[in-house]
């Protein structure tokens, strides 16, 4: 049975990847420092868990001792706003931490490292939909750190024969998400609608995003383990929706009449984004299976259940 190490495996996306791996009969080990990941996301699963921080150099020897066949690297600082506020912390986690993982992957001679990158590497698009060969001009430190790690992986392939798959995510959403990160607006709206609080939209709400359901992202990660080596692809729905339309869709699903308030847009946020995924479908033998309305309903139900638990707990 092949062993897969998932960094950040107790987090929003990571925990769904762990479940997908188990369903595909992999042995799974998780490294997470639980700064944003939650033990409750994985405590019921038959896996090995290490509470450790990828920014600490000792993680290298820990990974070597685990002897993984594959590494799926999800651990990251995921907030664009936080990267603007604290550029050094963003570098420490997303570059230094990733280099520790890459170094350990080289030492361990893993068969593949799968890296969670982002549409933020592009900055403001010159044309839509974005294709993988679109120029990369990040508008935020977060986007820059993701692009930097991509380049380290490409160099590591040449210098150390480390096979990789780079997955550039669009805006991921779904159950277990907190309010941070690129897809965080869905989690924020879910919480606001569930708790009957006024939704807040930054900017005019006409900015668009390509939302992809977390279980589709998990499926893409598992398929990337055995796809062609050294590829960079989008994990996206290849559709877009405005933030105003997103809120209206969620209000309909939640049966809510709440009206939003609008605030100043945030630095580092891009205006529009939609990622082409034809190459991904071919190279990973994958395609998204969850429609936006279905995914939003499942996300809202998760928020409702969580609220009920907190009220009864």
Close Cβ partners of 106 (under 8 Å, ≥ 6 residues apart): 156, 160, 162
The overall average pLDDT reported for the chain is 95
142 among known catalytic residues: yes
Predicted pLDDT at 26 = 98
**pLDDT surpassing 90 at residue 313:** no
Percent of the chain having pLDDT more than 70? Answer: 97
Quote the CA–CA distance of 109 and 133 in Å, as a whole number.
Answer: 29
Quote the CA–CA distance of 241 and 5 in Å, as a whole number.
Answer: 34
Catalytic residue among 39, 70, 122, 142: 142
Q: What is the pTM of this model?
A: 0.95
Q: Please state the three-class secondary structure of the chain as a single string.
A: CCEEEEECCCCHHHHHHHHHHHHCCCEEEEEECCCCCCHHHCCCCCCEEEECCCCCCHHHHHHHHHCCCEEEECCCCCCHHHHHHCHHHHHHHHHHHHHHHHHHHHHHCCCEEEEEEEHHHCCCCCCCCECCCCCCCCCCHHHHHHHHHHHHHHHHHHHHCCCEEEEEECEEECCCCCCCCCCHHHHHHHHHHHCCCCCEEECCCCCEECEEEHHHHHHHHHHHCCCCCCEEEEECCCCCEEHHHHHHHHHHHHCCCCCCEEECCCCCCCCCCCECCHHHHHHHCCCCCCCHHHHHHHHHHHHHHHHHHHHHC
Mean pLDDT on 261-269: 87
Q: Quick one: tokens of 301?
A: 């139900």
**pLDDT surpassing 90 at residue 156:** yes
Predicted pLDDT at 178 = 82
Percent of the chain having pLDDT more than 90? Answer: 91
Quote the CA–CA distance of 105 and 259 in Å, as a whole number.
Answer: 49
**pLDDT surpassing 80 at residue 181:** no
Question: Which domains, and CATH codes, for the chain?
Answer: 3-172+213-235 (3.40.50.720), 174-209+239-273+289-304 (3.90.25.10)
Predicted pLDDT at 306 = 84
Residue 271's alpha-carbon distances to 9, 202, 236, 239, 268, in angstroms, are 30, 11, 17, 15, 10
**pLDDT surpassing 80 at residue 180:** no
Q: Quick one: tokens of 24?
A: 């595909």
Each residue of 88-117: pLDDT tens digit? 999 999 999 999 999 999 999 999 999 999
């Amino acid at each position: 049975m092949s062993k897969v190490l998932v960094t950040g495996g107790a987090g929003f996306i990571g925990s769904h990847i762990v479940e997908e791996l188990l369903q595909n009969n992999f042995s799974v080990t998780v490294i997470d420092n639980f700064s944003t990941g939650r033990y409750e996301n994985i405590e019921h699963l038959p896996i090995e868990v290490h509470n450790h921080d990828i920014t600490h150099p000792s993680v290298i020897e820990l990974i070597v001792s685990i002897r993984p066949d594959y590494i799926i690297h999800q651990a990251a600082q995921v907030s664009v706003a936080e990267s603007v506020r604290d550029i050094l912390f963003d570098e420490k986690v997303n570059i230094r931490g990733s280099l520790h993982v890459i170094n350990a992957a080289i030492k361990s001679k893993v068969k593949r490292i799968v890296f969670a990158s982002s549409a933020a590497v592009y900055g403001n698009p010159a044309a839509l939909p974005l294709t993988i060969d679109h120029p990369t001009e990040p508008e935020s430190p977060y986007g820059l750190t993701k692009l930097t790690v991509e380049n380290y992986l490409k160099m590591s392939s040449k210098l150390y024969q480390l096979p990789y798959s780079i997955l550039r995510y669009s805006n991921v959403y779904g159950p277990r998400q907190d309010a941070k990160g690129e897809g965080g607006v869905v989690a924020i709206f879910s919480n606001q609608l569930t708790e009957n609080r006024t939704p807040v939209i930054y900017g005019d709400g006409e900015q668009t995003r390509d939302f992809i359901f977390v279980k589709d992202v998990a499926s893409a990660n598992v398929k990337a383990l055995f796809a062609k080596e050294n590829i960079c692809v989008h994990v996206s729905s290849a559709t877009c929706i405005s933030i105003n339309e997103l809120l209206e869709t969620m209000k309909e699903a939640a049966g809510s009449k709440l009206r939003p308030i609008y605030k100043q847009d945030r630095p580092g946020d891009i205006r529009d984004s939609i990622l082409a995924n034809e190459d991904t479908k071919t190279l990973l033998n994958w395609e998204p299976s969850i429609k936006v309305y279905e995914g939003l309903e499942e996300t809202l139900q998760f928020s409702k259940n969580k609220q009920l638990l907190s009220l009864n707990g």
